[in-house]
Structure 1
Amino acid sequence: MPAPSLAEQDIRCSFCAKPKNEVAKLIAGAGVFICNECVQLCAEMLKEIAESEAAPAAQSVPTAELPEIPEVPWPDAMTDEEILDFLPRIASVGAQVDANLKVWVERLRDRGVTWARIGAALGTTRQSAWEKFSGEE
């Protein structure tokens, strides 16, 4: 069976986990995706950082007056409930990366690449690669 096309895959932003049909654009990376909304947020954050670093020391803005830059929440600063609410987002991104890796392996198999070469590229054995990606038992 040939590997699914991008249109057939359930693709989500690896940062905010929004599905492709809820954003204007998704940019593909190596097994990950970022939506136009997250790109815009990153651009705004980088601009604010650059502007604050470019301000002369004599005219620097007190830290309390700098715009707040949103940060990725880290478990140490989160309550148990916040972590539990965040887990599905992390799991969906992990599942997407795993599914994307499977698609790449399927494309290699469609081209006749051996399980030995795929296993070597993944740092595992031919048998382990076959067991993980063949879909056979």
Structure 2
Amino acid sequence: MGPFADLDTVNVRPYLTVRINLTECCAMGNLHCSFCGKSDQEIAKLAAGPGGLHICDECVEVCQLVMNGTDAPPKAFDPTNWPTERLINALGALDATAESYKEHLARAVDALRERDVSWAKIAEPLGISRQSAWERFN
């Protein structure tokens, strides 16, 4: 059954695609886990999520601990604890992740605008003014 046999698949986003040996299956370049920063060369499996985000099998295990009420080891997610080479290699991926979040946010705002949601309503949860929201996303 594999290491994720007890994973609650009912609550996992249906569009999340688990990929085994991503670098062998797809010529997508060097991908990184969006949570711990490890490259696809350092881990066994990588799951692709929305907006270009990825999570590795090790972070999924940490998520399972959290979902089961066990404390997760925060040290693994603190970049100050990563080796220098991983930090250097992760810079591009971290930047791409930030850009991916921006693009995902922009698509969400576009969808809201298509539904005639006002700029004021969009601006409120972002903590910005209506004018700032319009300037940022229009």
The one-letter code of the counterpart of 2:80 is P
Larger Rg computed on CA atoms: 1
Q: TM-score, normalised by structure 1?
A: 0.50
Query: Which residue matches 2:121?
Result: 117
Aligned residues of 1:13 and 1:32 also touching (Cα < 8 A): no
Q: Please tell me the root mean square deviation across aligned C-alpha atoms, in Å.
A: 3.8
Matching of residues 1-137 of structure 1 within 5 Å: 14-15=34-35, 26-28=48-50, 33-35=53-55, 38=56, 40-44=57-61, 71-72=76-77, 74-75=79-80, 78-79=83-84, 82-134=86-138
Find the aligned partners of 1:83 and 1:112 in 2 and give their Cα distance. 42
Q: Give the drift of 1:26.
A: 3.0
Size of the aligned set, in residue pairs, is 94
Unaligned runs of at least 5 residues, structure 2:
1-14, 16-31
SS in 2 for 1:130: helix
Unaligned runs of at least 5 residues, structure 1:
1-5, 7-11, 54-69
- Shift of the 42–83 alpha-carbon distance from structure 1 to 2, 3 Å rule, reads closer
The one-letter code of the counterpart of 2:59 is C
Aligned identity (percent) is: 30
Aligned residues of 2:33 and 2:46 also touching (Cα < 8 A): no
Cα displacement string for residues 72-129 of structure 1 (whole angstroms, at most 9, x for unaligned residues): 46235543x5433321111111110111000000000000111111111211101100
Q: TM-score, normalised by structure 2?
A: 0.50
Find the aligned partners of 1:14 and 1:77 in 2 and give their Cα distance. 14
